Amino acid sequence: MEMRAKIGQLVRLRAGGPVLCVTHEYPMEDGSYSYCCEWFAHQKLKHSTFPIVALEPVEGEFEAEFEADIEVQVGTEEELEAEADVEAESDADSGTKERKRGKNYH
């Protein structure tokens, strides 16, 4: 699960400080994100970039994104078994089955 801020979301540094507004999102090498934030200090617009772990939302929570590689199948046991049989048959003769389903890879 990764946490992400929304553009325009109001945040604050976990260490405290003024309310910041998220303006840009940048992916980091470790798969997390850093955020460019802007705020006013002494009537001047300031900006800086912070990693998500340094920020906390002022209201609500950050979005949580789940990386789901699991395909959920819904149906009766008989339907799932029949679908598994079709997939096994498809593996044996993938060209014919793919054309019947309307998929064209060239």
Ordered by where they begin, the domains of the chain are 2-65 (2.30.30.390), 70-100 (no CATH)
Q: Which two tokens stand for residue 35?
A: 């955020």
Residues of the chain above pLDDT 70, percent: 59
CA atoms within 13 A of residue 95's CA, in its CB half-sphere: 1
pLDDT score of 105: 52
Cα separation, 82 vs 35, in Å, equals 48
Q: For the segment 11-45, what is each residue's pLDDT rounded down to a tens digit?
A: 999 999 999 999 999 998 988 899 999 999 999 99
Torsional sign, CA 70, 75, 81, 85? negative
Instruction: Give 92 or 54, the one with higher predicted confidence.
Output: 54
From the list 102, 22, 15, the residue with the least C-alpha distance to 60 is 22
Torsional sign, CA 85, 88, 92, 98? positive
